[in-house]
């Protein structure tokens, strides 16, 4: 796998929070990872394993203490988030984070459409773009394409997360970062948003990193599975290896690699970390 050129590479990344205080936490400990075009990586791990921190370092919310992040061979480690945004589409756990509640659906999409491009003095929304938005919203099957001027803050969290997903993908990202993006939704809505995600990833052939707390999901989807624990990647499985596994095997693998027992509960509790 390493013979192909990497799209995104994380090399020997370390990140420490609250350094030199009693609260010091090593969120990432010498993590290296190569991501190839059209990889679809599922990431699991218990609370505080460093999954979200890894995505944050990749997206540029904060720089790592050590290590390099490069994309297409370009070192982006210290590039600010807004400059790097041209490469990444991201959906967060909380639908409120990825959307603007006081803006309309079409305003949100118009803003997202220009991710990574110069925003100039042209009118943000025109007939052509409206058509594009309708076209992008139509497959969601939520009827949002007919409510382009509704304020996003008035939508349900499922609808809002669907908008966030559309915003992250409307201008094709080099890498799609999903951070437990269905965890805050009720089971039925979660399934709908998840199916939509699958559809978009397949249709656009998106390179994807998806954090999930659902081990079944992590096994079923994607071509690669990564398990993190205490800031390290402890398991990294390819498509064939992963297909042979059941949830129990995954739990055993964790026990072997981490030297402690993993319960489903432990992973389920892994929400709302840094």
Partner 1 sequence: MDIIGNILGFSLYEGLVYGLVAIGVYLTLRVLAFPDLTVDGSYALGGATTAVLLVKGFNPFIGVLAAMLVGLCAGALTAILNTTLRLPALLAGILMMVGLYSVNLRIMGGANISLLRESTIFDQVGGVLKLGVGNIYLSIIVALLIIIIVVSMLIWFLRTEFGLGLRATGDNEEMVRGLGSNTNINLIIGVAIANGLVATAGAVVAQSQGFADVGMGIGMVVIGLASVIIGETLLHPRRVAGLLLAAVVGAFIYRLIITVALRLGMPPGDLKLVTSVLVVAAMAIPYIKKRIRNEWIPPAERW
**Residue number, 117 or 127, with CB nearest to partner 1:** 117
- Only segment of 40-48, 94-102, 212-220, 229-237 that touches partner 1 (CB under 8 A): 94-102
- Taking the C-alpha atoms of residue 77 and residue 10, their distance in angstroms, rounded to an integer, is 9
Least separation in angstroms between residue 135's CB and partner 1 is 20
**Residue number, 64 or 98, with CB nearest to partner 1:** 98
Tell the residue number behind the tokens 């497959």, with chain if given. Answer: 139
Q: Quick one: which of 5, 32, 97, 199 contacts partner 1 (CB under 8 A)?
A: 97
Least separation in angstroms between residue 111's CB and partner 1 is 5
Cα of 241 vs its chain's centroid, Å: 23
Run of H or E residues at 129: helix 127-137
- Taking the C-alpha atoms of residue 99 and residue 120, their distance in angstroms, rounded to an integer, is 21
Q: Quick one: which of 81, 186, 195, 260 contacts partner 1 (CB under 8 A)?
A: 81
Q: Quick one: which of 62, 78, 101, 247 contacts partner 1 (CB under 8 A)?
A: 101
Report DSSP letters for 145-208, one per residue: GG-TTSBGGGS-HHHHHHHHHHHHHSS--SEEEEESTTTTS-HHHHHHHHHHHHHHHHHHT-EE
**Residue number, 110 or 262, with CB nearest to partner 1:** 110
Binding track over 102-131 against partner 1, x by CB under 8 A: xx---x--xxx-xxxx-xxxxxxx------
**Residue number, 46 or 99, with CB nearest to partner 1:** 99
- Only segment of 67-75, 76-84, 221-229, 233-241 that touches partner 1 (CB under 8 A): 76-84
**Residue number, 27 or 59, with CB nearest to partner 1:** 59
Least separation in angstroms between residue 223's CB and partner 1 is 26
Q: Which residues of 14-31 are buried (b: 16+ CB within 10 A; e: fewer)?
A: bbbeeeeeeeebbbbbeb
The CA angle 80-65-69, to the nearest 5 degrees, is 55
What is the dihedral angle through the alpha carbons of 135, 140, 146, 148, rounded to the nearest 10 degrees? -80
**Residue number, 21 or 123, with CB nearest to partner 1:** 123
- Taking the C-alpha atoms of residue 199 and residue 205, their distance in angstroms, rounded to an integer, is 10
**Residue number, 82 or 135, with CB nearest to partner 1:** 82
- Provide the CB-side half-sphere exposure for 128 (13 A, CA): 3
Q: Quick one: which of 59, 175, 215, 228 contacts partner 1 (CB under 8 A)?
A: 59
Tokens of 272: 């709302």
Q: Which residues contact 63 (CB under 8 A, 6 or more apart)?
A: 57, 77, 78
Least separation in angstroms between residue 124's CB and partner 1 is 4
Q: Which residues would be at the binding site for partner 1 (CB under 8 A)?
A: 59, 80-83, 85-86, 88, 90, 96-103, 107, 110-112, 114-117, 119-125, 167
């Amino acid at each position: 796998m390493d013979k192909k050129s990497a799209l995104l590479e994380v090399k020997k990344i370390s990140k420490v929070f609250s350094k030199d205080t009693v609260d010091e936490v090593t969120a990432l400990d010498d993590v290296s990872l190569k991501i190839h075009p059209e990889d679809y990586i599922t990431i699991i791990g218990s609370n505080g394993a460093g999954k979200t921190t890894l995505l944050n370092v990749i997206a540029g919310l904060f720089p790592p203490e050590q290590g390099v992040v490069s994309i297409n061979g370009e070192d982006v480690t210290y590039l600010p988030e807004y400059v790097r945004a041209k490469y990444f589409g991201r959906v967060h756990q909380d639908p409120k984070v990825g959307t603007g509640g006081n803006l309309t659906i079409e305003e949100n999409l118009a803003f997202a459409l220009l991710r990574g491009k110069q925003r100039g003095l042209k009118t943000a929304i025109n007939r052509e773009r409206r058509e594009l938005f309708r076209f992008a919203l139509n497959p969601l099957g939520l009827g949002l394409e007919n409510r382009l001027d509704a304020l996003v803050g008035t939508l349900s969290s499922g609808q809002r997360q669907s908008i966030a997903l559309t915003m992250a993908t409307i201008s094709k990202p080099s890498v799609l970062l999903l951070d437990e993006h269905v965890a805050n939704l009720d089971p039925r809505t979660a399934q709908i948003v998840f199916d939509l995600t699958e559809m978009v990833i397949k249709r656009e052939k998106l390179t994807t990193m998806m954090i999930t707390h659902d081990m079944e999901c992590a096994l079923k989807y994607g071509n690669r599975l990564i398990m993190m624990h205490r800031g390290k990647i402890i398991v990294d499985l390819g498509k064939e290896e992963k297909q042979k596994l059941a949830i129990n095997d995954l739990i055993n693998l964790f026990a072997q690699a981490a030297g402690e027992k993993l319960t489903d509960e432990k992973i389920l509790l892994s929400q709302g970390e840094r």
